[in-house]
Amino acid sequence: MADRIRKADYFSMQVSNRVGEAMRLLKGLRDNGVNLLAFTGFPNGRKAQVDLIPENTAALRRAATKMKLSLGKKKTVFLLQGDDRVGALANMLEKLAAARISMTAMDAACAGKGRYGAMFWVKPKDVARAARAIGAR
């Protein structure tokens, strides 16, 4: 299978940095029918930042309203999926470097059964150029 690279919406928000907070958030989203393509979270001072990448942005917004969540502004993330192999990310990174586009951050992992997945961010001003450079939809 060829690598699949696409743009997706994501939302960052601050939550309490307490035991069980991510579980409460994810359980509430699940109970409201929100499927996440990716989720990441990390401490940020006395709070924690969570990034939510929904399959359906409208569903996330509806759930956030019901749950009284304060979603941040919608931004763009790039999602990659493909067959795992040595240097799986190298071609994409070479294309970004050739276009002189820097990544803000990246998370990647083997997904099992010979697959990998990754998500990465660029500055908002570089999203359209990055999408062209790497062939993202």
Task: Report domain extents, the chain.
Answer: 9-75, 76-134
Residuewise pLDDT in 10s, the chain (137 residues): 578 999 999 999 999 999 999 999 999 999 999 999 999 999 998 999 999 999 999 999 999 999 999 999 999 999 999 999 999 999 889 999 999 999 999 999 998 899 999 999 999 999 999 999 999 98
pLDDT at residue number 1: 56
Radius of gyration of the chain (CA): 16
As its CATH architecture, domain 9-75 has: 2-Layer Sandwich (3.30)
**pTM over the 0.85 mark:** yes
Query: What does the H/E/C string look like for 65-81?
Result: HHHCCCCCCCEEEEEEE
**Cβ atoms of residues 106 and 119 within 8 Å:** yes
* CATH fold match for the domains 9-75 and 76-134: no
Burial of residue 12 (CB within 10 Å: 0-12, 13-18, 19+) is middle
Q: Which CATH superfamily is domain 76-134 in?
A: ACT domain (3.30.70.260)
